[in-house]
Structure 1
């Protein structure tokens, strides 16, 4: 998958002559709704014998427009790109969202970042907005397509259990500790990445009862509590518990015979997958 980083105004000319279907959106989490949109875009691309591209934005517009610099994400950019690659996206345009870009009129966004990039078909969600003060929406795109060389497909909202599938709703579930409900909307268990902070005398300790875990990235974190999790470094996978006991520190509460397997992953990125919240207990049971 090719990744092209864009900054407005574009100083570099991208010689993209071949037609492509472009999906537009922020796609935080690449949840079930996003996946459906991307699969529909993929079908359109296949039908028209052309490539599938995505345009996403970094950081989230609210960081620039509303000053929400502490905003947390379901999927930081690197994880989002991994998800898109697995879906089969051919090219991703990552637009750096700046105050200058935020002031771009909707008409100029279409001219500079749809027409000049030779996108022949645009696929967006029903609530997609763009341009200065969100003056552009799906109706604006549809009208513009009548006089320009591109078509527009709008994907309607997706609903599960009477709830609209959205990144906002999934973030709320996680923040409230309801991680067991996340797969119904995200399409998989929620994951975060980071590193284990080992004690200095690691190899002198015959038994390890806990290790600190440092989050790598601005992830949405579940509410404080004890969670059943799976930890993997890409080679080894163990199950256990994660104790979130403060707003900044996360500690594993795992049995020593399982922690021994992670001694060799010092300073290596690991992934923690959340299953469900459990009640605190004096003794954590053994997982077979």
Structure 2
């Protein structure tokens, strides 16, 4: 997959089959759209192209909006590449871009830059200045400029009944299983392993402290989760705590993973941790011994869950 970070940087080698959106989560509904553009591209000897934006348009147009997202831009890129997209255009969204009229966008971007052959878009997609143009306007532009418009109907999208908003809600409620079902893959957190207070080592549960660099990344509800990572090309399972560590009077949220059957130095490495199951809420225990006893139960539950996957 070829990636460019602005519309003017893209040079079309072939006509393109395009879809447009933020694609936060690249969930099962998004995957359905991507499958259509890649199939159409092969059928018409064109290149498939996804146009997305960063930052999220809502964060630019609705000042003061703190919107957590399911994917970092790097995670989204990796997911789209796995789906076989030929080109990803990540355009910086700003107020100047938002003021392009619908026809300017169609003519200058879709037709002149992308050499658009066909666009596949949701029935409710709106575009142009103040988002005044809709699918009917796009069909009219297609007749004028000579490209096809394929509309994904409400019935098609509602058949999977998935939205990024529903997934965010599930994660905020700690319902990782529902979120994963909607996504079609395990929700993941990517971050750098940093030094913590190393309290886990003193009770027999050393942890890797994960620092997420992107402040817009959605961190699921506090609690204990069964997780999985690939480290040095090996699958490693573990249990992760997201929370403030109230038993030791913690004051800020941390993300700590105790990997099972693994004891290597991970400091300064960037790792991706996939969340498979939520075991329990975060609790405050009366002593470190009580916490240690609970961790023994958590480990037993984790091992049982891992065994159920095999």
Q: TM-score, normalised by structure 2?
A: 0.81
Please give the residue correspondences for 1:64-79 in structure 2 after superposition, counting only pairs within 5 Å: 64-68=60-64, 70-79=66-75
Gaps of 5+ in 1: none
Q: How large is the Cα RMSD of the aligned pairs? A: 2.6
Range 56-65 or range 180-189, more displaced: 180-189
- 1:177 counterpart residue number: 174
**Aligned residue pairs, count:** 278
- What is the CA–CA distance in structure 1 between the aligned matches of 2:57 and 2:87, rounded to whole Å? 21
Query: In the TM superposition, what is the alpha-carbon distance from 1:238 to its structure 2 partner?
Result: 2.1
What secondary structure, in the 3-state scheme, does the structure 2 residue paired with 1:67 have? coil
- What is the CA–CA distance in structure 1 between the aligned matches of 2:234 and 2:253, rounded to whole Å? 24
Do residues 127 (structure 1) and 141 (structure 2) align?
Answer: no
Query: In the TM superposition, what is the alpha-carbon distance from 1:109 to its structure 2 partner?
Result: 0.8
Answer whether contact 1:210 1:251 (CA < 8 A) is retained.
no
- What is the CA–CA distance in structure 1 between the aligned matches of 2:120 and 2:77, rounded to whole Å? 18
- What is the CA–CA distance in structure 2 between the aligned matches of 1:248 and 1:47, rounded to whole Å? 53
What secondary structure, in the 3-state scheme, does the structure 1 residue paired with 2:145 have? coil
Greater helix fraction, Structure 1 or Structure 2 = 2
- 2:45 counterpart residue number: 49
Gaps of 5+ in 2: 245-250, 282-293
Answer whether contact 1:233 1:265 (CA < 8 A) is retained.
no
1:87 to 1:259, Cα distance in 2 relative to 1, 3 A: same
1:275 to 1:176, Cα distance in 2 relative to 1, 3 A: same
- What is the CA–CA distance in structure 2 between the aligned matches of 1:200 and 1:166, rounded to whole Å? 39
Query: In the TM superposition, what is the alpha-carbon distance from 1:200 to its structure 2 partner?
Result: 8.3
- What is the CA–CA distance in structure 1 between the aligned matches of 2:257 and 2:119, rounded to whole Å? 47
Moved over 4 A (4+): 199-202, 204-208
Do residues 113 (structure 1) and 114 (structure 2) align?
Answer: no
Answer whether contact 1:27 1:56 (CA < 8 A) is retained.
yes
- 2:3 counterpart residue number: 3
- What is the CA–CA distance in structure 2 between the aligned matches of 1:193 and 1:254, rounded to whole Å? 16
Structure 2 counterpart of 1:99, from 66, 83, 95: 95
Do residues 192 (structure 1) and 189 (structure 2) align?
Answer: yes
Query: In the TM superposition, what is the alpha-carbon distance from 1:5 to its structure 2 partner?
Result: 1.7
